[in-house]
Structure 1
Amino acid sequence: MTRPMVKLARALRKRMTPHEVRLWARLKTWRAEGFVFRRQVPLGRYIVDFACFTPKLVIEIDGGQHSGDDHRAADAIRDAWLEAEGFRVVRVWNMDVYNNMDGVLTAIRDALDAGLRDMRQP
C-alpha cells in the first residue's frame, strides 16, 4: 500500500458522503456481533467504501455516475480484481441507502452469512 493511497483514504474518511455516513452508522453497530467494518479502505490500487475482513466483504455505495457505460466497465474490472482477492462485493445505490435501508442491510447481512458459510467449508 503506497503512502499516497493511505493519505487519500484518510482524506476520504474525513469527507464521507451523506450516504456513506448513514450506512456507516448502521454498520458500526454490527461490531458487537463480530463484524468489524472499516471505511475507505485501500485494497490494491483501489479504495473501497467499506470492508469487513471476516468474512471478506466489500460494500460500495454507487451514485448515478455509475450507471454510465464507462463507470460500469471500470466497476466490473474493479469487482473482478476484488473477487480474485477473495472478497464478495455488494454494490448499493445511493438512493437505496435513504429509501430502502432495510433492503440494503438485508443484502449486506446475506453476503456476510454466505461468506461465513464459505469459511466453514473445507
Structure 2
Amino acid sequence: MNKKRIHTKKSLEYYRRKLRSNSTPAEKYLWSHLKSKQLDGLRFQRQHSIRNYIVDFYCASIGLIIELDGEIHNHPEARDQDERRDQDLEELGFTILRFENKMVFENLEHIFEWIRDVVREKSS
C-alpha cells in the first residue's frame, strides 16, 4: 500500500524554519512552557507541517494542534480560511485548539487545562 506522507513535507522545510525564526512573542512564550516535555511529559513540536499546512504547535501522541491567533485572524477572510483549514485537519483526526495571542500572556494556566482536557478525552 502506498501511504502518502502528510507530515513534515520536505517542500515546506524552508517555510517552517522561517516561521520558527520569526516567532511572535506569544509563540515564544508558549514554546518556553511546552518544549522539553515540560507540560505533563507531552512532546510538542513547533511549526510542524501537516499536508500543506504549517501548524504552530503539534503533539503527535494525542493528535493535538495548537494555533495562536493574532489580530489578523479577526478579519472575515482569515476567519474563513482558518475554518476551512481546521475542518481539513479535523477530518484527518486531529484536535485543534485556537487561542488569541493575548490569552497566552493573560491566562496560560487555562490553556494548559484545555490541553489536559484533550489528554483526558483521548485517554478515555
TM range (shorter): 0.7 to 0.9
**Aligned length, in residue pairs:** 117
Which ranges of structure 2 fall in alignment gaps of 5 or more residues? 1-7
Cα contact 2:64–2:94 (8 A) shared by 1: yes
Cα contact 2:36–2:43 (8 A) shared by 1: no
Cα contact 1:31–1:37 (8 A) shared by 2: no
- 2:80 partner amino acid: A
CA drift at 1:115 = 2.3
State the TM-score, normalizing by the size of structure 2: 0.86
SS in 1 for 2:42: coil
> Where does residue 69 of structure 1 map in the other structure?
76
CA drift at 1:2 = 4.4
Which of residues 20, 30, 43 is equivalent to 1:23?
Answer: 30
- 1:26 partner amino acid: H
Bigger mean CA deviation after superposition, 30-39 or 86-95: 30-39
SS in 2 for 1:110: helix
Bigger mean CA deviation after superposition, 69-78 or 102-111: 102-111
Structure having the larger proportion of residues in helix: 1
Cα contact 2:33–2:39 (8 A) shared by 1: no
State how far apart, in whole Å, the 1-side matches of 2:77 and 2:39 are: 39
> Aligned residues: percent identity?
35
Confirm whether residue 111 of structure 1 aligns to residue 118 of structure 2. yes
Q: 1:3 to 1:102 in 2, by over 3 A?
A: same
Cα contact 2:69–2:100 (8 A) shared by 1: yes
